[in-house]
Amino acid sequence: MASLDMNRLMDNARIKLPGALDGTLQLELVNVLNDFFAGSNIWKEDLPFQVTPTPETYLEDPAAWTYTIVPSQGQINRVLGVVTSKGLPVPVGMSIPGEIVLARQPSEADTYTAQVALVLGDQMTKEGYPAFPEWILSKYYNDLLDGLLGNMMGQLAKPYSNPNLAQYHLKKFRSAVSQAKVEAQHENVYRGQSWRFPQNFVRRRFRQY
């Protein structure tokens, strides 16, 4: 059974969008959620992975420099940072989501942790809703509803088409995405700082290869 918040979201959308089909609402909800997650980085996961040093250069053996990470839910959109087991930041690249390429070889075998931002994957609930953490829907309920209404009202030639209202709702949604991005950076701490101790590690700049 869908969560209380999800049922409430759908009921609100059904009332505000007369003539809309549930299948279309669910389809549009996926678009809204992906916009929200991709724009805000609010859905994060820490993924540990084992690294081992190699004498080969990247061009000689790219696979030895590449580590595949798989999230428990959703799919990886971008990597927010990688740290060693001692918490030191490590420069990496991720041209293909899920495949981390180290910029420098580790001096010894270690367990690195990658913090990644996720978007929706193929997992669906049995009611046909996309699977994602419930707290996000709970916290950003009104904002996601704005996104859903805006996307639906922006559709062409439907009983619920309304370009003016679509603009109004999407403006509110875009503003919510920006706010969620800031909240994600500050880990939901009011006036919190976007870095973690020790600060000088975060300020370091590494040249990417």
Partner 1 sequence: MALDTVQDYVDRVRVLLQDQVAPYRYPTADLVEALSEGILETRRLRPDLLQNYFRSNLPDFSTANMNQAVPIDPQYRMAFVYYICGMTQLRDDENVQDSRAALFMNKFISQMLTITA
At 197, list the tokens: 């101790």
Applying the rule CB under 8 A, the residues between 57 and 116 that interact with partner 1 are: none
Subset of 1-30 contacting partner 1 (CB under 8 A): 18-19, 21, 23-24, 27
For partner 1, which is the closer residue by CB, 141 or 160?
A: 160
What is the closest distance, in whole angstroms, from the C-beta atom of residue 164 to partner 1 in the complex? 15
Q: Output 179-185 pairs: Cβ under 8 A, ≥24 positions apart.
A: 180/36, 180/39, 180/40, 180/42, 180/140, 180/143, 181/39, 181/40, 181/41, 181/42, 183/40, 183/42, 184/40, 184/41, 184/42, 184/44, 185/41
Separation between Cα atoms, residue 166 and residue 199, nearest integer Å: 42
Minimum distance between the CB of residue 103 and partner 1, rounded to whole angstroms? 43
Pick the binder of partner 1 from 8, 44, 158, 186 (CB under 8 A).
Answer: 158
**Smallest distance from the beta carbon of 132 to partner 1, in angstroms?**
22
By beta-carbon proximity to partner 1, the closer residue of 139 and 158 is 158
Decide whether 17 or 47 has the Cβ nearer to partner 1: 17
Using the rule CB under 8 A, is 124 a contact of partner 1? no
Given candidates 1, 95, 108, 159, which one binds partner 1 under the rule CB under 8 A? 159
- Point out which residues pair with 118 in neighbouring strands: 76
31 or 68: CB nearest partner 1? 31
Contacts 24+ apart (CB under 8 A), 55-61: 58/101, 58/209
Rounded to the nearest whole angstrom, what is the least distance from the CB of residue 127 to partner 1 in the complex?
Answer: 16
List contacts with partner 1 (CB under 8 A). Answer: 18-19, 21, 23-24, 27, 157-160
